[in-house]
Amino acid sequence: MITYNAGNYDVVVIGGGHAGCEAALASARMGCKTLLVTLSMENIALMPCNPSIGGPAKSQLVREIDALGGEMAKNIDKSHIQMRMINTGKGPAVQALRAQADKYEYYREMLKTLLSQENLDVKMAEVERIETVNKRVTGIVTRTGAKFGCKAIVITSGTYLKGRIIIGDLAFDGGPNGQFPAVKLSDSLRDLGLALGRFKTGTPPRIDRKSVDFSKMIEQPGDERPLRFSYISPRVKRPQLSCWLTHSNKRTHQIVMDNLDRSPLFTGLIKGRGPRYCPSFEDKVVRFSDKKSHQIFIEPEGRSTDEMYVQGMNTSLPEDVQLKVLRSIPGLENVRMIRTGYAIEYDYVIPSQLKPTLETKEIENLFTAGQINGTSGYEEAAGQGLIAGINAALKVKEKEPLILKRSEAYIGVMIDDLVTGDIDEPYRLLTSRAEYRLILRQDNADLRLTEIGRKIGLVNDYRWRIFCEKKEILEKEIERLKETTFTPADEEMAEFLTGKDTAPLRDRVSLWEILKRPEIKIKDLVEEGLVDDNDLDILEQLEIQSKYEGYIKKQEEQIKKFEKMENRAIPEDIDYSEVFGLSNEAVQKLNEIRPVSIGQASRISGVNPADINVLLIFLEKKRRK
């Protein structure tokens, strides 16, 4: 293939999925001349699986992306067909927003944003090779011979690398959703010295709305109140479309059992490791054989289509079995299948090869983000894409990188898990992975991260103004609530408290303390005229910060201790085999992971407290030299 020089960029982003879009937008918005290359213009921000964004841990993540100036939150606000707040009874830290997306609208809105972004060019092509000089990237080459020079690259190739589709005993090379796979890029990465692994995931069949009998299902409407992911989206309620709940039954399970010998999971055709949190339906039937039925949700894929997603029915059984299984379910007796469910295997980059900036340790200025790093999920991909895009741009501008701590953001938890741990299944963020869950809430992501976003240059003046106003009012209100006090002699207050079925005051007590009582809600105080009728977000903050102050303070104490370890930096150039006193296992692990801080080092499995002591002493020795 004869190549030609097609131009130069600061940053090239390979891939237009959720990671790629965030990376490209961040880089361009930070002033870097950016190129986004994608296999197809039709798969921009595509949701190849569940048409849904948010949920526990993920909703926190989306809000963090928003606070840092990313796009995902705004895009889903523009394109959802239903939004619900879930986990509402379980506390503010785990309460989560979840949206059903109009998959096509989501795509169109993102495409529009990309194409209208200054500094950003979009190109459809298959990248075949990464070019480097002295272990530093210099450019990319596409299948059609275009050579683009660049200073930094972010690869966000998702499930496309050597993608292989498996349905029953049928297997062929392919990307998700009928797309082409990327066949050559894996080899280029291997040539650069990166180790790749192979994972698997799967998706359920899609069915025709017109063939579903909804009268046999339970309706799942969206919330009545207007909800939004982005702190700056307008508060408007879009027309909501319902989802529907039905259940599998004994007969369904019997059909699965009768056809197990045709399932690639059990015949051994599928070799890649799949996620435990997203098992195939056949897996569920086999592993939980005592369960008489499983939930099946029927979800619209958009307003302009009759295709519906069958959540819970992720499968790689042969097509004829899929149809039989579906038709055994109430409401789906006469169902027509539009797309067949399938499993897909793909190459990923073993993420312990990355720095916490998402730059590869092997090749300078080469970043990877999203499913290529062994994760799964749109939000996980977007979060990484944003950070990789930011760090690529910062690197090009020769500025300090952005690394979020586990105590600052779910994004920090995720990236630290990826680069520090041994990932042996597709990684998904869970709230239980976060140590400081009560601090990393979805309601305060803006308070946690907007300032960081501003410093980087991704928070525009509009967002900044909204944030500053909110913060100022909030601080004033908190102070006022703490200073406004009442005594047992205040009759109005006494009456109010009795009305709320809560004990009368015994001493002088502040409004802040009164708000802590479980019986008192912030809206009661607003109704009483004790608190100004501020923006909902501010009222929510007041309520949460007062009610959970005790727990929050405890976690803040823990964070202080935690950060002491995180702030002890470890220089990059240590050869651990020369550190006297480390165990062999520690030497091997430390040389592989190359932690940036004592804190990170202490989380590596195989590195024990004695090794950490030895390291501390070694660092001190080095310092004194």
Question: Binding residue for another protein (CB under 8 A) from 257, 430, 468, 569?
Answer: 430
Q: Residue 529 or residue 609: which is nearer to another protein going by CB?
A: 609
Q: Which residues sit at the interface with ligand FAD, rule CB under 6 A?
A: 14-20, 37-40, 43, 46, 48-50, 126-127, 156-160, 176, 182, 185, 201-203, 278, 344, 370-371, 376-378, 381
* Sequence-distant (≥ 6) Cβ neighbours of residue 613 within 8 angstroms: none
Q: Is 86 in the site for another protein (CB under 8 A)?
A: yes
430 interacts with, out of another protein, ligand FAD, none, CB within 5 to 8 A per kind? another protein
CA distance 615 to 574: 11
Q: Is 423 in the site for another protein (CB under 8 A)?
A: no
126 interacts with, out of another protein, ligand FAD, none, CB within 5 to 8 A per kind? ligand FAD
Q: Is 427 in the site for another protein (CB under 8 A)?
A: no
Question: Binding residue for another protein (CB under 8 A) from 239, 398, 578, 624?
Answer: 624
Q: Find the binding residues for another protein in span 557-576 (CB under 8 A).
A: 561, 564-565
Q: What angle do CA 361, 422, 395 make, to 5 degrees?
A: 25
The minimum distance between CB 166 and ligand FAD, in angstroms, equals: 11
CA distance 568 to 194: 29
The minimum distance between CB 243 and another protein, in angstroms, equals: 11
The minimum distance between CB 131 and ligand FAD, in angstroms, equals: 14
Contact 331/247 with Cβ under 8 angstroms? no
Question: Binding residue for another protein (CB under 8 A) from 190, 193, 271, 551?
Answer: 551
Q: Residue 345 or residue 477: which is nearer to ligand FAD going by CB?
A: 345
Q: Which residues on neighbouring strands pair with residue 260, listed in sequence order?
A: none
Q: Residue 61 or residue 93: which is nearer to another protein going by CB?
A: 93
Q: Is 604 helix (H, G, I), strand (E, B) or coil?
A: coil
89 interacts with, out of another protein, ligand FAD, none, CB within 5 to 8 A per kind? another protein
CA distance 321 to 323: 5
Q: Residue 291 or residue 523: which is nearer to another protein going by CB?
A: 291
Specify whether the backbone of 370 is left (phi greater than 0), alpha (psi in -120 to 50) or beta. Answer: left
Q: Residue 189 or residue 612: which is nearer to another protein going by CB?
A: 612
Q: Is 609 in the site for another protein (CB under 8 A)?
A: yes
Question: Binding residue for another protein (CB under 8 A) from 2, 503, 580, 584?
Answer: 580
Q: Residue 268 or residue 609: which is nearer to another protein going by CB?
A: 609
17 interacts with, out of another protein, ligand FAD, none, CB within 5 to 8 A per kind? ligand FAD
Token reading at 236? 């408007």
CA distances from 466 to 441, 454, 537, 538, 575 (A): 19, 12, 12, 12, 48
Greatest Cα-to-Cα distance within the chain, rounded to the nearest angstrom: 90
Q: Is 606 in the site for another protein (CB under 8 A)?
A: no
* β-strand pairing of 509-510 with 342-349: unpaired
Q: Is 243 helix (H, G, I), strand (E, B) or coil?
A: strand
Tokens 């976690």 belong to residue: 555
Question: Binding residue for another protein (CB under 8 A) from 112, 225, 271, 287?
Answer: 287
18 interacts with, out of ligand FAD, another protein, none, CB within 5 to 8 A per kind? ligand FAD
Q: Residue 457 or residue 606: which is nearer to another protein going by CB?
A: 606
Q: Is 501 in the site for another protein (CB under 8 A)?
A: no
CA distance 202 to 123: 28
How many Cβ atoms are within 10 Å of 218's Cβ, its own excluded? 14
The minimum distance between CB 186 and ligand FAD, in angstroms, equals: 9
Starting at the edge strand that comes first in sequence, how are the strands of the sheet with 196-203 ordered? 170-173, 164-167, 342-349, 196-203
CA distance 365 to 152: 5
616 interacts with, out of ligand FAD, another protein, none, CB within 5 to 8 A per kind? another protein
Tokens 């197809």 belong to residue: 40
Token reading at 393? 């741009």
Q: Residue 181 or residue 595: which is nearer to ligand FAD going by CB?
A: 181
CA distances from 363 to 138, 368, 403, 431, 474 (A): 11, 11, 19, 32, 45
How many Cβ atoms are within 10 Å of 203's Cβ, its own excluded? 24
Q: Is 577 in the site for another protein (CB under 8 A)?
A: no
* Distance, CA of 597 to chain centre: 24
The minimum distance between CB 398 and another protein, in angstroms, equals: 32
Q: What angle do CA 422, 424, 425 make, to 5 degrees?
A: 135
CA distance 205 to 209: 13
Summarize as ranges the residues that interact with another protein (CB under 8 A). Answer: 50, 56-57, 86-87, 89-94, 276-279, 283-284, 287-288, 291, 294-295, 297, 311-312, 314, 430-433, 437-438, 518, 548, 551, 554-555, 561, 564-565, 580-581, 602, 605, 608-610, 612-614, 616-617, 620-621, 624
